[in-house]
């Protein structure tokens, strides 16, 4: 008779399991989607809050994308930040 050594399966902490599930369920937006959403916001036809609700994204995510998008545009076209204090 051979006995199987059946050790109990390693338990994954509940917090890690929930974190992994949330990470897997997270939406991944393509670059085209990000650009489309940012351009919709720049058009100003609806509020940013309404746009974010329609697209099911957080406001902070929209602003991060717009900052990235506008930063790329500035770098590509050679614009520099020109918010200088006036000379006294």
Per residue in 17-64, pLDDT (tens digit) is 888 888 887 788 999 999 999 999 999 999 999 999 999 999 999 999
Q: What is the pLDDT of residue 17?
A: 87
63 burial via Cβ count (<10 Å: 0-12, 13-18, 19+): middle
Q: Please give the model's pTM, rounded to 2 decimal places.
A: 0.59
Which pair of tokens denotes residue 24? 């897997």
Is the residue at 20 inside a domain? no
**For residues 26-40, b (16+ Cβ closer than 10 Å) or e, as one string?**
eeeeeeeebeebbeb
Residue 61: inside a domain, yes or no?
A: yes
Segments forming the whole domain that contains residue 69: 30-77
Does residue 58 contact residue 33 with C-beta atoms inside 8 Å? Answer: no
Structural domain contains residue 53: yes
Split into its structural domains, the chain has a count of: 1
User: Within a domain: residue 18?
Assistant: no
Is 9 a domain residue?
A: no
Q: Is residue 41 part of a domain?
A: yes
Within a domain: 42: yes
């Amino acid at each position: 008779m051979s006995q199987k050594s059946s050790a109990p399966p390693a338990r994954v902490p509940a917090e890690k399991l929930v974190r992994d599930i949330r990470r897997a369920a997270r939406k991944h937006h393509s670059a085209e989607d990000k650009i489309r959403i940012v351009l919709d916001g720049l058009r100003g036809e609806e509020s940013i809050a309404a746009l974010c609700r329609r697209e099911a994204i957080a406001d902070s995510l929209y602003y991060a994308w717009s900052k990235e998008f506008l930063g790329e545009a500035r770098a590509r076209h050679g614009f520099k930040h020109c918010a200088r204090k006036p000379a006294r």
